[in-house]
Structure 1
Amino acid sequence: MIQRFGKYNRISQPGLNFKLPTGIERVTKVKIKRVYKEEFGFKTTPAGGSRFATDSEDIGAALMLTGDLNVAVVPWIVQYRISDPYKYLFKVKNVNSILRDMAEATMRTVVGDRSINEVISKREEIAIAARERLQEEMRQAETGIHIVTIEMKKTNVPEPVQPSFNEVNEAVQEKEQLIYKAKEEFNKAIPQARGEARRVIKDAEGYALDRVNRAMGDGARFTSVYKEYVKAKDITEKRLYLEAMAEILPKIGGKYVVDSDQSNLLPLLNMGQGSSVISGPGKEGDKK
């Protein structure tokens, strides 16, 4: 970036360039390919590790109120590049200051729309939403900054409330476990009951169909017998009688035929043996 008498004049690309002597033109080099970063809620140590910031540094930036009115410690990193050197140098007086303020405001807005469990378990989703929102804020402010990425560090609750928070999580997990078991029992009992109900219905339908078919068959048989009875009453009566006796007599054990006209002491016919003996007024022992 070249300024002439303090006013912006032109942009020169890397390579061989010329300018007027010092006092007339001044050169400011802007590293547009370098990725810068800002840390919130913690500080990176020179050895490459990281630690949470102290109260005198930046711990307040990490304390946020979630949508379900819980306090969470949310450390994060903003990585950015300078996309427009002119806006970066001349549109905003202190770009780093406005970047930190807007990044903190954006993160608080995004976190405030979610529960504590979402803040802890959905860090990637929160980071993406915060990056898009922060990029829009930087564009409207004409800072000349492009947000490369926002990286969420491990999110937790403040140490004083950590034991209580763990107890709440255990209770929630126990509740979910009980709900899961109840659903498992539900999934076992309901299909079984439905299957039993369908079986009973099918049995009832089969029984009803059988009864109807039997009734229709009995009705058709009765109708046919009645037609024959109308044609020949005596023959039909005798046939029905014989058929009934043929069905009943085999079920009876011993069978005796008694002649009411006989005057003997034992006027009977023994039909249970191979030969029949008739006792009567004739010769004793006559075989027939």
Structure 2
Amino acid sequence: MNWDWEKLRENQQKYEKNKGGSGGGPGMPRPPQMDEIFNKFKGFKFPGIFIGVIVLLILYLASSTFYTVDRSEVGVVQRFGKYNRLAQPGLNFKLPSGIEKVTKVNVRTPETEEFGVQAAESAGAYGNASESSLMLTGDLNVGVVPWIVQYRRADPRAYLFNVKDVISLLRNMSEATMRTVVGDRSINEVITERAQIAQAAREMLQSELDNAKAGIAIVNIEMKRTNVPEPVQASFNQVNQAIQEKEQTIYKAREEYNKAVPLARGEAKRVIKDAEGYAIDRVNRAQGDATRFLAVYDAYSQAKDVTRKRMYLETMLNVLPQIGAKYIIDSDQKNVLPLLNMGEGASTLSDRFLQKGE
């Protein structure tokens, strides 16, 4: 609003002439009166665009100061670019834009990073596997190892401010960790022990991310089907077949071993027991003979003549039945030829001599 100072000056001069110059001092112009100022404002009208700008400004301030955070998210509030506080789920208030800024971070929903999975699935036989899934095993074989990493943002502040590119860090550390774990195992272990490899890789990767303070929590690592590159697939199958045949031969040898060794051990134990029994029998027999001999000796020492005669008779009783014809000759007989009658009467004659001897 512009004042018409020329008109006001003319009115002042006319007023001084009429009132005798009483306008606040000689030669001083009279200031505008309040009723004149109100009359001026009564005639002034605000344009419509000015009102629209004011309404838009009010709406902008309201929209930039109130915001909502989803229940799976956390709001990270920055004041002049510096971290200030965390906003929990629900309706929240902040200072207008330019002063405070809020960044919403999902901290509950797991996200996924894939390594060589799409290339392996599209190649079918792993002919075009990506470089991230090609790994050298501990026995100097090359394997195609695709896997999936599931993670969530556990610490929003660390996730936003500690690392410039968190996803790139996650991918690089995941690949380095998996290569380390696979490099400590043979190709057969990599193919057959996927659960153990996934668990070891998860623990190692979480430790590395904690050291980097990336604000990421590893939920799970899933190992996909592991194989070898297509150019060496046939040779690898032949090696596996040879290994299986080797193991089968070993199992058969162990089976024969398990049959033969216990049988031999049982036979050895039986022979040992027989020998022990024979030794006990011989010892017992020897002890019995010694005891009997001592008993005979005791009897002989008490009555030598009687014992000598008894022993002679017992010996003759055992010896005579075992010989054929028996001839008992008188000590005075000089010629035994007439007595040797080789015929039927020999036994009778011998019997006669026996009777005579008796």
Which residue of the partner structure matches residue 25 of structure 1? 100
Query: Does residue 143 of structure 1 match 2:218?
Result: no
Q: CA deviation at 1:246?
A: 3.4
CA distance in 2, matches of 1:265, 1:211: 46
Contact 1:257–1:269 (Cα < 8 Å) also in 2:
no
User: Counterparts in 2 of 1:145-184, with a 5 A limit?
Assistant: 145-184=216-255
- Computed over aligned residues only, the root mean square deviation of the Cα atoms, in angstroms, reads 3.0
Q: Does 1:85 align with 2:179?
A: no
Amino acid at match of 1:32: V
Cα distance in 2 for partners of 1:8, 1:165 equals: 56
Indicate the SS of the match to 1:3: strand
Shift of 1:82: 0.4
Residue equivalent to 1:3 = 78
Report the secondary structure of 1:27's partner residue: strand
What secondary structure sits across from 2:87 in the alignment? coil
* 1:188-227 alignment runs, 5 A limit: 188-227=259-298
- Look up the match of 2:10: none
AA matched with 2:149: V
Match of 1:283 in 2: none
Q: 1:108 aligns to what?
A: 179
Contact 1:40 1:58 in 2 (8 A): no
Tell me, in whole angstroms, the C-alpha distance in 2 between the residues paired with 1:264 and 1:52: 121
Q: Label 1:58 to 1:145 Cα distance change in 2 as closer, same or farther (>3 A).
A: farther
- Structure 1 gap segments, 5+ residues each: 280-288
Inter-partner Cα distance in structure 1 for 2:272 and 2:214: 75
Q: 1:233 aligns with which of 285, 290, 304?
A: 304
The more displaced of 213-222 and 103-112 is: 213-222
Identical counterparts, % of pairs: 62
Structure number with higher helix proportion: 2
Are the structure 2 counterparts of residues 224 and 271 from structure 1 closer, same or farther at C-alpha, using a change threshold of 3 Å?
Answer: farther
Contact conserved, 1:41 with 1:52, CA < 8 A, in 2? Answer: no
Aligned to 2:116: 41
Inter-partner Cα distance in structure 2 for 1:211 and 1:16: 106
- Pairwise CA distance, 1:265: 9.9
* Deviations 1:193-252 (CA, angstroms, capped at 9, x unpaired): 222222222222221222222122222222222332333333223212332343345566
TM-score by length of 1: 0.82
CA distance in 2 between partners of 1:264 and 1:11 (Å): 145
Q: CA deviation at 1:112?
A: 0.7
Which stretches in structure 2 are left out of the alignment for 5+ residues? 1-75, 354-358
Q: Distance in 2 between matches of 1:196 and 1:265?
A: 60
TM-score by length of structure 2 reads 0.67
Change (3 A) 1:38 1:70: same
3-state DSSP class of the match of 2:104? Answer: coil
Q: How many residues align?
A: 268
Could you tell me which amino acid in structure 1 is paired with residue 297 of structure 2? Answer: Y
Change over 3 Å in CA distance of 1:269–1:19 after alignment to 2? closer
The amino acid that maps onto 1:29 is K
Structure of higher CA gyration radius = 2
